[in-house]
Structure 1
Amino acid sequence: MPNSSHLSALPFALSEAHSSHPLISVLYTLHAATSLSKMGKNITSNSEAKKAKALWGDPSWTTTFCNLCVEEIETGNKRIFTALSAKGWSNLVIKFYDKTGLNYDKDQLKSKWDVLKENWRVWEKLKGLDTSFGWDAMMGTIDASDDWWDMKLKEVSKALKFRHKSLQNLQQLD
């Protein structure tokens, strides 16, 4: 375990204002571990340990995530043809923790981004330019005949999940 002399050798100082923020403390600890391992002192028992899968059981967490992504994009923290910039991801990790209390890292949030992006693509393929279906505003679903669904599911097999429910957060994803 590092002692205070090791921590004072780190190239940055943790300000007192941020030291109480749990995420900043975690980042500081990770930085300290990385710095110490570079000095030949491995303080972790398994550097290849797998992270726990992020759980998204509460739909409000996905809505919060989408809103924060939109905020970062509108702020200009998005790179061309990719997801968010490094600054955007850093902001997102902190803001998501502040709003939800969930301590998910960039990789866990990027995984959610990728899942939402894939779901949006499937939704768009399903709808396409087709005007032969209706919209059930009460359920938020496509209102179409069984024949239409059979035809569409042959084209887009992953669209089955949208037969009885809509794409969550569609407005933010568009």
Structure 2
Amino acid sequence: MFDNADWNEENTKLLCELFAEQVTAHNRSGTHLNKSGYKNVMEKFKDKTELNYSKMQFKNKWDKMRREYANWKRLVKETGLGWDNEKKTYKAPDSRWKQLNKDYPGISKFKDGPLQFEELKSIMFEDIRNSEDDHWAPSSGVAPTNQQDAEADEAEDKDEDYEANEASDYWEEYSPEPSKGKRPAPSNWKDKGKKPKSSGGHWVQKELSKLVALSERSTASWTKEHFIASQVFVKRAEREMFMTLETPEE
């Protein structure tokens, strides 16, 4: 059971230190830490705080801090902004902050104060901050590369389930299914007993490539069936014999 995330100033500073440590140790792949990096952060954070947070909680915080860092750096390039020595942040009319926040959601938080722990966040994010992304606005209709990468990273934990489902969908399409005791002809065949127009060596090679690829990516439970199919379907006579079978049991 994981604890509810409490990102107070103390916990946030510790997290930034741990994130920066992992980046320095080359445990960041793309725009996120790799599995080893997150594992180290989770263990060290729990050891120092006795808080048990999930990998997704750390990923979400990473994404939020990366957006904040990018927004802070965007302000450096904005013209017409002043500097508030008391608040240690930029100053501008409310109308300007409103427009900036419309273009870059969340940026108006810096109206009241600077970015926290900028030095640590610079280690974490500066070398992956893309200058084109800094000027991206939702109105452009095209998400920046880093945002797409982040979305892909968030799906990392679901890859194994996805691959298993993909294998299942493929076998549903090509495996025999009972229908009144007989195996129905594949939907892409025009007449029973006839091969598709694309039949022949190229078609077999294409289908075998799919089977081999799925065998490599799927979970262990599918491996045996994929291997057998990849061996059986190489021989034309056995492919034709396979098509004569009427039930899944056969």
TM-score with structure 2 length normalisation? Answer: 0.43
**Residue 123 of structure 1 corresponds to which residue in structure 2?**
72
**Match of 2:16, as an amino acid?**
C
* Deviation by residue 1:150-172 (Cα, 9 ceiling, x = unmatched): 55345334322221122222222
| Alpha-carbon distance, 1:112 to partner | 0.8
- SS of the aligned residue for 2:33 comes to coil
Contact 2:27–2:34 (CA<8 Å) still a contact in 1? yes
Secondary structure of 1:142's match? strand
Q: Could you tell me the TM-score, scaled by structure 1's length?
A: 0.59
Say which SS state the counterpart of residue 102 (structure 1) adopts. Answer: coil
1:92 to 34, 41, 55: 41
Q: 1:74 to 1:121 in 2, by over 3 A?
A: same
Larger gyration radius, structure 1 or structure 2 = 2
Deviation at 1:88, TM superposition (A): 0.9
Matched with 1:133 is 81
Q: CA RMSD in A?
A: 2.3
Q: State the Cα distance separating 1:145 from its structure 2 match.
A: 4.1
Gaps of 5+ in 2: 123-250
Contact 2:20 2:120 in 1 (8 A): yes
Could you give the per-residue CA deviations for residues 20-62 of structure 1, whole angstroms, max 9, x where no partner exists? xxxxxxxxxxxxxxxxxxxxxxxxxxxxxx9654121x21111
Paired residues of 2:81 and 2:90 also in contact (CA < 8 A) = yes
Aligned mates of 1:112, 1:154 — CA distance in 2: 22
Distance in 1 between residues matched to 2:83 and 2:50, nearest whole Å: 36
SS of the residue aligned with 1:135? Answer: strand
Secondary structure in 2 aligned to 1:92?
A: helix
Deviation of the 1:95 alpha carbon: 1.0
Rounded to whole Å, the distance in 2 between the matches of 1:89 and 1:153 is: 31
- C-alpha distance after superposition, 1:54-89 (max 9, x if no partner): 121x2111111011100111111111x131121111
* Aligned match for 2:6, one of 55, 66, 69: 55
Distance 1:52-1:147 versus aligned 2 partners, 3 A rule:
same
CA–CA separation in structure 1 for the residues paired with 2:40 and 2:25 = 11
Whole-angstrom CA distance in 2 between matches of 1:156 and 1:134: 19
Give 1:12-161 correspondences, 5 Å limit.
53-56=4-7, 58-79=8-29, 81-125=30-74, 127-146=75-94, 148-161=96-109
Q: How many residues align?
A: 122
> What percentage of aligned pairs have identical amino acids?
32
User: Is the Cα contact below 8 Å between 2:46 and 2:52 reproduced in 1?
Assistant: yes
- Tell me, in whole angstroms, the C-alpha distance in 1 between the residues paired with 2:85 and 2:26: 33
In the TM superposition, residue 107 of structure 1 has moved relative to its aligned partner by 1.4
Q: Distance in 2 between matches of 1:51 and 1:114?
A: 20
The 8 Å contact of residues 3 and 51 in structure 2, kept in 1 or not, is answered as no
Return the offset for 1:131.
Answer: 4.8
Evaluate the alpha carbon distance shift between residue 121 and residue 52 of structure 1 in structure 2; reply closer, same or farther with a 3 A threshold: same
Give the whole-Å Cα distance in 2 for the aligned partners of 1:158 and 1:131.
19
